[in-house]
Copies of this chain bind each other. A is one copy, B any other.
Amino acid sequence: MDDVLADTSIKIISEINKRLNKSYSMPALLNNDSLKLEFYQDYLATNSFLKEPGFFLDIPVKEKAIEVVQELSKHYEIFIVSAATEFPESLKEKLTWLEAHFPFISWTHVVFCGHKYMIQADYLIDDHEKNLKTFTNGTPLLFSALHNLHIHDYQRVNSWEEIANLLLPNE
């Protein structure tokens, strides 16, 4: 969910800028390793905001995520699996967020967990190496995010458009 359907990194950048009076931006971070290190240290120092009520409610949706997931759901059974039980406040908010943006995904197909290695599926689209590493019965797909650009062990998808090209039947 985070950094795959939801642009959580954008919300985190804006939260850190607000709290520490900084001016990080995604384009600047993508091209500057020492800035990325500084940002990561600021993130570690402030990230308890992830546990504050409301954090997960207003995260922007990733470009084309809605359209492509809706199209995929005509051909696949889609589960939204979010490693979220670390953040008790997030659970209800994530359901609310999904209902607002992905109303065609029912609560029957939402899974909140700690890690994901008890999940069986044909594909796992995820931004975290730790989730893909333990996904051994299907095809792991690494969704590009600021924190995974150095990983080269998985098939990478950079956008929902790329996922559409990969997984939707040719028209």
What residues make up the interface of A, taking CB atoms closer than 8 Å to B? Answer: 79, 81, 85-86, 88-89, 91-92, 95-96, 106-115, 118-121, 137
Contact = CB atoms under 8 A, between A and B. Distances in A.
A79 B110 contact: no
A92 to B, nearest CB: 4
Contact of A91 (B79, B112, B119): B112
Nearest to A85: B107
Given A92-B92, A95-B85, A120-B119, A107 B111 contact: no
User: Which secondary structure dominates where chain A touches chain B?
Assistant: mixed
A41 to B, nearest CB: 25
A51 B88 CA distance: 17
A137 B137 CA distance: 13
A108 B115 contact: yes
A115 B31 CA distance: 43
Nearest to A91: B91
